[in-house]
Chain A
Amino acid sequence: MVDILRNYDVIGAFWVTIQLSALSAVGALVLGTVVAVFRVSPVGVLRLLGSLYVNIVRNTPLTLLMVFSILGLTYILHLPFSESASRNAYWWAVVMLSVYHAAFVCEAVRSGVNTIPAGQAEAARSIGLTFGQSMREVLLPQAFRGAIAPLGSTLIALIKNTTVAAVILGTAESAGTLAEVTENEGASLPTFLLFALGFVILTLPLGIAITHYSRRLAVQR
């Protein structure tokens, strides 16, 4: 166990996991909100694009999206982030994690919007706010507060899904490191528990915090 910690950069790998999680969480939140607004917007083509996005991205395995980002987007469409293959894979992993979870953020925000009484939207319109203004000033702030629980589940899923990035990132992050340790040392229960513990530490407090805040921040009606 000590050998594994000494010979492999487990801490470094988890640091990459944390970076991937944080960057993609921000990306997914922004992108997901935009898509959610698209899906309820007055413009038909935006609604269509929004629902196409959600239905395609949400129904494709993340593994496939990851492989496509390198094989398809970087190599065939020539959209590299960096000349360095590992940097490029890192940023594409962030983008793909964002893109994938944005579809779930979108649905969470939409479910949040659904918790708002119609009177709120009607009131916003009746005082002359445009669609954009009523979204920004009235609906989205309430929607986020109502959607803390599903947004939180999405965040936790995202943290765990960073492991899927191993298919393009190699040993840089935790699942890739586990694969390397397994290849060299054979699989053992302590090794697995070590990596599992890392994820428990990352996600369990988040889960508790989310339950707490989803109750505290819920809009009382």
Chain B
Amino acid sequence: MSTESVLFDAPGPRARLRHNILTGVGLVLVALTAWVVYGRMKEANQLEGYLWSPYVTEADVWTAYILPGLWATIKAALVSMVLAGVYGLAFGMGRLSHLAWVRWASGAVVEFFRAVPVLLMMVFFFFGFFATASWLPSDYAPLAAVVVGLTLYNGSVIAELVRSGVHSLPKGQSEAGLSIGLSPGQTLRIVQLPQALRAMLPALIGQLVVVLKDTALGTVVLYPELLTQGGKTLGSAYANTVPAYLVVAVIYIVINYSLTKVAGYVEGRMKRRRRAVVGATTTTMPSAAGGTGAVASSSVAGNPVQTPAEPVE
């Protein structure tokens, strides 16, 4: 790859030899670790057939635990994401309002919910509110707590994305809107937001990974999501807690990795298209700060230094 040579010279014969030796040592270390893990797991009786066979022999493992759990995870993530989008758009616009008090109020709400851990919110909304609510069927109480917690936090993150997205647009956009007689509100809605939202798309998909992963916190309020159902409950029913958690981890990794890939693909496509349209004035989206996820980073390609002019994979 041409970009790689920016950081280091093409390796000569001695460097290549060194790299090969390093590669060998690395592989030996990996193999050694795997062997030790295998040995220790065997010693701790974690590899016995009865712990793992239910995954093959019992259809219930999938139909009564893992799949319903996965569905609950996806359901909570999607509902939260939609609501967070609405909330984020509303408060993001609030923070861009030309009325000072709206800006301040929206700012205070957004900053508060960004500062409070999602876990705390779920615990509070469940035990303090939904678990004792007479108007809510008990089955929905954990879901409600999970959704509210995730919505408030991720909505606040999206509000920030909206704000910074609009700020990163060229000034000429709003000036043009105002000069043809649109009000500031109209300019925001008709001219600036559509552009900002398009630019936000990859960051939003990245945020979905954060939401999906954070639904696992719902386990503290007994929401029957993947970690609760496929880990805890399955582990209780079949007395195989450790294998159950391992399987659940693999499922999370596969789903989230695919989503990250999708986000990277969308971002790549959009950058290419924008570059074609806008040319040199490309604006970059600030990366989203996300939940337990911190940074909803997009590019997972191993590309080193890229100058802004070079195409991004």
Contact = CB atoms under 8 A, between A and B. Distances in A.
Contacts of A101: 294
Interface string A22-45: 000000000000000001111111
Contacts of B217: 61, 63, 164
A59 B306 CA distance: 25
Contacts of B214: 61
B249 interface: yes
B119 A187 contact: no
Nearest to A195: B120
Q: Is the interface of B mostly helix, strand, loop or mixed?
A: helix
A11 interface: no
Interface in B182-235: 209, 213-214, 216-217, 219-220, 227, 231
Interface in B228-271: 231, 241-242, 245, 248-249, 252-253, 255-257, 260
A153 B294 contact: yes
B23 A131 contact: no
A61 B304 contact: no
A61 B249 CA distance: 8
B313 to A, nearest CB: 12
B109 interface: no
Nearest to B41: A76
Given A46-B22, A71-B242, 13 more contacts: A45-B27, A51-B300, A55-B253, A58-B256, A64-B252, A104-B297, A107-B295, A111-B295, A118-B6, A150-B297, A178-B123, A200-B115, A204-B111
A-B pairs, top 10 by smallest CB distance, nearest first, are A187-B128, A153-B289, A59-B256, A61-B216, A187-B127, A157-B294, A104-B294, A107-B297, A160-B117, A40-B304
Interface of B: 4, 6-9, 11, 15, 19, 22-23, 26-27, 36-37, 40-41, 44, 46, 111-112, 114-120, 123-124, 126-129, 209, 213-214, 216-217, 219-220, 227, 231, 241-242, 245, 248-249, 252-253, 255-257, 260, 286-287, 289-295, 297, 300, 302, 304-307, 310
